[in-house]
Amino acid sequence: MIAELGLAGSIVEIAKSAATAAAKEAAADALSDTAAAWVRTVSVEVVGSLGGSIVGALLKLLLNVSDKVSTKLDLIIAAPLKTGARIVTEASALSGGSQAEIGFRDRLLNDGILELERAWTLADGRRSRYTEQFYIRLLQGLAAKCMTGGAGYARVRLTECAEELEQEAREISRRLEELALEDRSQKEWAEQHAKMRELYIRLGTDARSAYSSGAAARQCEKRCIQIAEENSQLIPSVKWVQEFAAMLRAIQ
C-alpha cells in the first residue's frame, strides 16, 4: 500500500539525517544508522528539538509526491488534494514572528487541513483509497504539528499513520515467512524430482518419467528464483516502513 507512494529512498535519507543530527545533539559515541535506532538512543528532549526540521522535510517530500498521487485521481478529488498539500507546505515554511503572523500562518494551515479533509471524504470508496487516505492523514498530521494548539490533533493523525505503517510491516513480515516456507518446500521437491530423474535414467526403462521428473525439478527451481526476487523487494520494504513508523511516533 504505502510503497505505492514511492517514498522509500527519501524517507530513509530523512531518517538517516535525523539520526545523525540526534546523535550529535546527544553527544552519542556513534551515529545511528536508522530511525529505529534513533528512537531507542536519544532523549525525548532531543526528539522534540528536531521535530520541526523533520516535519518540514517530510512536508516538502510529500508535496513532490502530490502530483504522482493526484494523477491517479478524478479531478474532483485531485483538486482539493493538490490545493491542501500546497497550502500546508507553504504555510509551514512561514516564520513565526508576531502574533499576527502566527495567526495568519495558523489560518492557512487550518484551511489546508480542511481542503485535505474534503479530499479524504471524496476518496472514500475508491479501490486505492487506503494509499490516498494515508497520504492525506499524514499531511494533516504534519500540518497540525506546525499550528498553535495543534499538538493533540497531530498526535491523533500521526499515530493513525504510524499504526498503518506498522500493520503493513507485519503483513510484509508474514509474507516473508510464507515465502521462506515455500522456498524450503520447493527446494526439497526439486531435490526429490532430480533424484527420481537420475533413477529413471539409470534404469533406462522409463524415458517419459525421467523427462517428467526433470521438468518438475526445473519448475521448482524456477519458483525458487521467483521467491528470491520477491524477497529482494520485500526485505528492504519492511525495513523502511518500520523506520517511517518509528519516525512518526518520535515526532508526535
Cell of 207: 524415458
DSSP notation for 57-110: HHHHHHHHHHHHHHTTS-HHHHHHHHHHHHHHHHHHTS---SHHHHHHHHHHHH
54 or 159: which leads in pLDDT: 159
> Residue 145: which of 132, 155, 137 has the closest Cα?
155
SS3 216: helix
Cell of 62: 510529500
**Which segment of 64-78, 107-121, 144-158 scores lowest on mean pLDDT?**
64-78
Cβ-contact 170, 157 below 8 angstroms = no
pTM of whole model > 0.85? no
State pLDDT tens for residues 188-244: 999 999 998 888 888 876 778 888 899 999 999 999 999 999 999 888 888 888 888
